[in-house]
A and B are shown apart, each in its own frame.
Chain A
Amino acid sequence: MQYHTPTSFEDAIEIAAQADGITRFLAGGTDVLVQLRADIVTPDTLIDIKGISGTKTITHNDDGSWRIGVAVSGAEMTEHPTLARDWPGVVEATDLIGSTQVQGRCTMVGNLCNGSPAADAVPAMVAAGMTVTVSGPDGTRELAVEDVPTGPGKTCLAKGELISAVNIPARGANGGDAYLRFIPRTEMDIAVVGAAVNLRLEGDTITEARVSLGAVAPTVLLVPQAADAIIGTTLDDAALTALAQAANAACAPIDDKRGTIKFRTHVAGVLAQRAARIAYERAQKAGK
């Protein structure tokens, strides 16, 4: 295994583009090192991106949007004085990853690029409408988060490409987001189901919404039908019922010892409802 510490994205791209065999990028290492130590994946080339300038920075842009460096850890997001005020769902989802020790290292980008359908940060990123900047030998493109994973452990990134920034839209007025997961214990477990909701209100009526589900399909899902079920409503009982039905209908989960198909499908609806209620309350508070 060759270990590299490039100091620019250009150098990282060049190393990755010319590498043979298996290449991994090293952000927090909480997936890469586990897979390395367990002999699941031994990269031929390991490119540590933490030495690239700007990768540890959280920037609140003038237009209200956010740019999160690709090596910013979960703990750094939680400790940021204002990020969680704008995007509590994104921060709480990332904060659910692992223990205090894991929080000191894990990143949103690693969570996304590891490609687990049960990744906790990803549904919240999708619901928030986040994008990633992908840089490679042919230049730079911006991708919606939901377009990055293509299956368990797989992403659409080509050889030589890496994510160079994570972008969160401006929060704007009267918005709120939330993420909830179900696990059999209260900490340190893999999501059996995850659900994220992000919405905006005008008065008491929902005018915009995005709903995302984790761990119920080969990739994290954006579920437009679930969003449509609550847009134009005040999140009354009928809307909540329609939301749960749309969430149920989107599920194509696995059946395993941690949750049966029936259980995961049911819980997806319940969590979508609860996350929607929290997002709604947060949006109401933001409007006051």
Chain B
Amino acid sequence: MSKIHVTTTVNGDEVEFLCDPRETVLDVLRDRLGMTGSKEGCGTGDCGACSITLDGRLVCSCLVLGAEAEGREIETVEGIATGEDLHPLQQKFIEYAALQCGICTPGILVATKALLEKNPDPTETEVRYWLAGNLCRCTGYDKIIRAVMDTAADMREAS
């Protein structure tokens, strides 16, 4: 089967890859680009562990074909911290112990970062609805929600 040549931008860097037409962006990130931050929980759009942004829009990378990434801008969890400096969300997740096994965490960080950029002052209900497509089997969600609410408050004060 002939492979498709794709040029795209990942966390600000231009990257090129060859992929099979059936491969997803998640497959490409993990298996071709060695970026294993995005996780595969289900592969069918249900769990959100593979969340990325595509041209700024939050999507499941398991439901986007690698070929569709041509000319687009992808942001993944690897792009959230600045060097060694963690993003406020990452710091709060540690502080609140908003993770246990950590499989859901990259997707939740990408999703909540997208939320706070769109809405810096969300209600708890808005955060819960926004994250309805990010499943966590360990934390019971409460710590996650509290970490997000507290980060939002801090970021509002800082700005």
Contact = CB atoms under 8 A, between A and B. Distances in A.
B24 interface: yes
Interface string B33-56: 000000000011110100100100
A46 to B, nearest CB: 7
B63 A30 contact: yes
A101 B21 contact: no
Interface in A142-165: none
Interface string B126-137: 000111111000
Interface in A14-57: 26, 28-30, 33-34, 36-38, 42, 46, 48, 50
Give the interface size bracket for B toward A.
20 to 34
Contact of B64 (A2, A29, A42): A29
Tell me whether chain B's interface is mostly helix, strand or loop, or mixed.
mixed
A33 B48 contact: no
A101 B133 contact: yes
Given A100-B132, A187-B129, A37 B21 contact: no
Interface string A212-240: 00000000000000000000000000000
Contact of A1 (B22, B24, B45, B130): B22
A231 to B, nearest CB: 36
Contact of A3 (B48, B57, B65, B111): B65
Contacts of B24: 33, 37
B62 interface: yes
B116 interface: no
A277 interface: no
Contacts of B114: 100
A162 B22 CA distance: 22
B63 A105 contact: yes
Interface in B60-114: 60, 62-65, 67-68, 70, 111, 114
Contact of A99 (B65, B67, B133): B133
Nearest to A38: B44
A129 interface: no
A37 B44 contact: yes
A33 B133 contact: no
Interface string B120-159: 0000000001111110000000000000000000000000
A6 interface: no
A33 B63 contact: yes
B43 A187 contact: no
Contacts of B57: 73, 75, 104
A13 B76 CA distance: 35
B4 interface: yes
A75 to B, nearest CB: 7
Contact of B45 (A2, A3, A26, A34): A34
A29 B132 contact: no
A254 interface: no
A188 B132 contact: yes
Enumerate the 10 nearest inter-chain pairs by beta-carbon distance, A residue then B residue, closest first. Answer: A99-B133, A187-B132, A3-B21, A104-B57, A104-B59, A101-B60, A33-B63, A34-B44, A1-B21, A101-B133
30 contacts: A1-B21, A2-B21, A3-B4, A3-B21, A5-B67, A26-B65, A29-B65, A30-B63, A33-B64, A37-B43, A37-B62, A48-B67, A75-B57, A98-B133, A99-B45, A100-B111, A100-B129, A100-B130, A100-B133, A101-B48, A101-B58, A101-B59, A101-B60, A101-B111, A102-B63, A104-B58, A105-B60, A105-B63, A187-B133, A188-B133
